[in-house]
């Protein structure tokens, strides 16, 4: 995955770039808004990390330009702790998440990973595969038009599986997706939630929307109805 960091603080930018490189990412860097906007529009980027207080062109204007150009890759904004309006402006312009300075790298890394996972390739917030439809904005799941009531954990699992429809997702990865807080994780509960989801989505066992691949994980097996 290729990331773009647009940050005018040299020390912060270089440190963050080195840490992300150490995690296996390819990293592009820009020190001002003008160069950053060029790279954001012209380079093959999977995710951008953008400081809002940039010289020449503001981070908010870069985000608007990226979205106006039709680019949908995730954007994580960096903002000062006391600038709440910047967060609102950045998110309204099209950013997906934010981190407040000063921050721990672990938080940035976790948010970058989450955004990349969620991007998943779907163009619409409504994911449809066979008779199953998931409205990510409303967090509503339907099967053949009938609403299916889910717990928050069940929703998180089915959302992740559908975003990555067709891919094999390990139990470990699902566990990470389910538990986003710093408490003890038990991957065995994933099996319980998968069982509940199967009963709710496919009570007659005809659709078989979720496959188990022994030793590998799970896969949402229904074919997507819309282009990614």
Return per-residue pLDDT of the chain as tens, 228 residues. 578 999 999 999 999 999 998 876 778 999 999 999 999 999 878 789 999 999 999 999 999 999 999 998 999 999 886 777 888 998 999 999 999 988 999 999 888 877 876 776 665 667 899 999 988 667 799 999 999 999 978 987 897 798 778 889 888 767 755 553 344 556 678 889 999 999 999 999 999 999 999 889 999 999 888 544
Residue 46's domain spans which residues?
2-119
What's the CA gap between 72 and 145, in Å, rounded?
28
Question: Which residues make beta-bridge pairs with 77?
Answer: 50, 98
Q: Does 228 map to a domain?
A: no
Four-CA torsion 179, 183, 185, 190, nearest 10 degrees: -40
Residue 213 included in any domain: yes
> For residue 212, what pLDDT is reported?
94
Structural domain total, the chain: 2
Quick check: is 107 in a domain? yes
**Which residues of 2-125 form beta strands (DSSP E)?**
2-6, 26-30, 47-51, 75-80, 97-101
The answer as to whether 29 is a domain residue is: yes
Residues 40 and 83 in one domain: yes
The verdict on 78 and 55 lying in the same domain is yes
Counts of helices then strands in the chain (DSSP H, E): 8, 11
Give the orientation angle of helix 188-201 with respect to helix 152-163, to 10 degrees: 80
Cβ partners under 8 Å of residue 113, min gap 6: none
Same structural domain for residues 28 and 131?
no
Please say which residue of 69, 98, 119 terminates a domain. 119
């Amino acid at each position: 995955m290729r990331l773009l960091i647009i940050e005018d603080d040299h020390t912060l930018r270089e440190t963050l770039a080195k840490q992300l490189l150490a995690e296996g990412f390819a990293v592009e860097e820009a020190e001002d808004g003008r160069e950053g906007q060029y790279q954001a529009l012209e380079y093959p980027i999977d995710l951008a990390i953008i400081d809002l207080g940039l010289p020449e062109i503001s981070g908010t204007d870069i985000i608007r330009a990226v979205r106006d150009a039709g680019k949908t890759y995730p954007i994580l904004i960096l903002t000062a702790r006391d600038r709440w309006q910047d967060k609102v402006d950045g998110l309204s312009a099209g950013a997906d998440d934010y981190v407040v300075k000063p921050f721990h790298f672990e938080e940035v890394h976790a948010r970058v990973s989450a955004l990349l996972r969620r991007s998943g390739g779907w163009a619409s917030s409504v994911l449809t595969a066979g008779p199953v439809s998931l409205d990510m904005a409303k967090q509503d799941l339907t099967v053949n038009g009938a609403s299916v009531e889910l717990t928050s954990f069940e929703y998180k699992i089915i959302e992740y599986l559908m975003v990555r429809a067709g891919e094999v997702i390990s139990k470990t990865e699902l566990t990470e997706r389910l538990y986003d807080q710093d408490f003890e994780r038990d991957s065995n509960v994933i099996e319980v939630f998968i069982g509940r989801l199967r009963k709710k989505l496919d009570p007659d066992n005809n659709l078989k929307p979720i496959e188990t691949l022994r030793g590998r994980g799970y896969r949402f097996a229904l074919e997507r109805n819309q282009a990614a």
